Amino acid sequence: MKSKYMMISLFIIFLQFITLSHSKSIVKNLPRFDGDLPFTLETGYIGMGEEDAMQVFYYFVESERNPSEDPLFLYFAGGPGASGLYPFLYQNGPLSFNFESSKRHNITLELNPYSWSKVANVIFVDLPVGVGFSYAKTWEASRSSDSILAVQGYEFIRQWLVENPKFISNPLYISGISYMGIIVPNVALEVYKGNERGNQPQLNIKGCLLINPLSDKFIDFNSRVEFAHRLALISDDIYESTKAACADGDYVYNVPDNSLCAQNLKRVDECTRRIKFGFILEPMCNATDMVPTCKDFTDTFIQTWVNYKDVQKALNVREGTIEKWEYANTSIAYDLKKNDTIYYSYDVWSTIASHKQLLTKNCQVLIMCADHDMVFPYLGTEKWIKALNLPIESPWEPWFVRSQVAGYHMTYARSGSSIKFATVKGAGHALAMYKPEEALTLMDRWLASHAYLSFSS
């Protein structure tokens, strides 16, 4: 008898331990949103690393269609260092701000009719630790890098699925935007390799989805000059002269001061420095004149909203774990040529080799590129994909939404794997914010084209 009680109390202690390191809850309401949330939102923490010293926060939105069969997306915001709340609130997530009516201190939320949760289960994660509401309990646990983050991403989704076993058999996709192009393919590779090692649970991974990704730190940053030329921001003469003066298509890394190349780049800079790289057709925002329609200031809106006590309470954020929610952790976020910081090492230069490996794993990849994004121009992506020399499954052609050309796409395929490259016409870097319907349509059609869907019961 006694030992039975002991077992039970041990079990209870064990349960308490579990709930301490992992916790999740359903969020029914959010301040500044009228009424109950018409979708299922779960937030929580996954404990990772030694003694769960990493506490990783996430926002999980169940599919509003058929959660038990629809795919599961793990979505990484950019940066590194941008919170999952970003895409959750104003890109492909279920809510958005009313840009027109939002005043700095009176934010109102509305539904995003083109949320990816219309057709898929989506987890928006705050990774690496130190981002959003994720926090570390030790110094060691607060350090990360491109390569460590890939392993952490795999660990996160594995643990999350242990906590949420009813989603284990859903098709899994690893996805993300911008800098996460450096991370996402490697998370996917970790998943495939973990499966191959026999790790439990086995994850039903099907592919990756990337939006305006950074894939190769040489190709992508260097594609900006040619992009500026194609979009008529620099003249033929400036382009030809710069191209001739700068060796090996390098406009960024190996440019000696006072060289002819540097002189040419000065002209390029004069022509482009007052252009908003995130969307070349939009005006640059003026920080001393915060008009709500200037979408850059969404950062400020989000930051104000999410730092309200009642909002953090509604999201079940653990009190006292972080001082202030910041839209981006600047000690982690990458800038061109930025050196490693004490928290983060930018140790992956290119993911082309990772993509080559994924091509041997029955992996389906969709890459969406906004054609007016000069942060990571579509040109760079087009260039490295082409260099893979893959057989073309379907050639470049327009794709449509409401019978209008929404962009162009082509698909490469080899032995069960594929890479679909699609542009989105008239979009900027935060693609789904500019073209929400197009982004959802593209993603949904891509999913529907996967053979396994027709076999699922």
Ligand X SMILES: *[C@@H]1O[C@H](CO)[C@@H](O)[C@H](O)[C@H]1NC(C)=O
Q: Which of 368, 367, 371 shows the shortest CA–CA distance to 419?
A: 367
| 75 touches 176 (CB < 8 A) | yes
| Nearer to ligand X (CB atom), residue 286 or residue 394 | 286
Rounded to an integer, what distance in angstroms lies between the CA atom of residue 111 and that of residue 35? 12
Query: Is residue 106 involved in binding ligand X (CB under 6 A)?
Result: yes
| Nearer to ligand X (CB atom), residue 287 or residue 448 | 287
| Nearer to ligand X (CB atom), residue 142 or residue 186 | 142
Residue 80 preceded by cis peptide, ω within 30: yes
- List the x/- string, 325-344, binding to ligand X by CB under 6 A: -x--x-xx----xxx---x-
Rounded to an integer, what distance in angstroms lies between the CA atom of residue 221 and that of residue 337? 10
CB of 111 to ligand X, least distance (A): 15
Taken in order 217, 362, 420, 191, the sign of the CA dihedral is negative
Q: With DSSP H G I counted as helix, E B as strand and the rest as coil, what are the percentages for the chain, rounded to 5?
A: 35, 20, 40
| Nearer to ligand X (CB atom), residue 235 or residue 254 | 254
Closest residue to ligand X, Cβ-based? 130
CB of 451 to ligand X, least distance (A): 42
CB of 386 to ligand X, least distance (A): 31
Task: Find the binder of ligand X among 237, 289, 319, 397 (CB under 6 A).
Answer: 289
The backbone torsions φ and ψ at residue 113, rounded to the nearest 5 degrees and listed phi first, read -65, -15
Query: Is residue 288 involved in binding ligand X (CB under 6 A)?
Result: yes
- List the x/- string, 111-130, binding to ligand X by CB under 6 A: ------------------xx
Map the footprint of ligand X across residues 142-181, applying CB under 6 A. 142
Q: Which two tokens stand for residue 221?
A: 């940053």
Query: Is residue 9 involved in binding ligand X (CB under 6 A)?
Result: no
Map the footprint of ligand X across residues 191-210, applying CB under 6 A. none
Rounded to an integer, what distance in angstroms lies between the CA atom of residue 165 and that of residue 152? 19
How many residues of this chain bind ligand X (CB under 6 A)?
Answer: 18
108 Cβ contact list (under 8 Å, min separation 6) = 32, 33, 97, 98, 101, 102
Query: Is residue 303 involved in binding ligand X (CB under 6 A)?
Result: no
CB of 232 to ligand X, least distance (A): 23
65 Cβ contact list (under 8 Å, min separation 6) = 118, 119
Q: Hey, which residues does 411 pair with through a beta bridge?
A: 394, 420
Map the footprint of ligand X across residues 73-102, applying CB under 6 A. 101
| Coil/strand/helix, residue 299 | helix
CB of 342 to ligand X, least distance (A): 8
| Residues tagged active-site | 178, 373, 429
Taken in order 151, 207, 399, 351, the sign of the CA dihedral is positive
Map the footprint of ligand X across residues 57-76, applying CB under 6 A. none
| Nearer to ligand X (CB atom), residue 37 or residue 172 | 37
Please state, in angstroms and as integers, the Cα–Cα distance from residue 388 to each residue in 184, 357, 411, 413, 414, following that order: 18, 11, 13, 11, 11
Dmax (CA) of the chain: 90
Q: Which two tokens stand for residue 180?
A: 């996460």
Binding region for ligand X (CB under 6 A) out of 195-203, 268-276, 307-315, 324-332: 324-332
| Nearer to ligand X (CB atom), residue 52 or residue 438 | 52
| Nearer to ligand X (CB atom), residue 131 or residue 210 | 131
CB of 260 to ligand X, least distance (A): 23
Q: Hey, which residues does 125 pair with through a beta bridge?
A: 58, 76
Task: Find the binder of ligand X among 21, 23, 40, 108 (CB under 6 A).
Answer: 108
Task: Find the binder of ligand X among 19, 25, 254, 286 (CB under 6 A).
Answer: 286
CB of 297 to ligand X, least distance (A): 13
Query: Is residue 412 involved in binding ligand X (CB under 6 A)?
Result: no
Map the footprint of ligand X across residues 379-408, applying CB under 6 A. none
CB of 143 to ligand X, least distance (A): 7
| Nearer to ligand X (CB atom), residue 329 or residue 381 | 329
Q: What single string gives the DSSP state of each residue in 234-281? A: S-HHHHHHHHHHSGGG-SSSS--TTSHHHHHHHHHHHHHTTS-TT-TT
Element (H, E) at 408: strand 404-414
Residues of this chain that bind ligand X (CB under 6 A) = 101, 106, 108, 129-130, 136, 142, 286, 288-289, 326, 329, 331-332, 337-339, 343
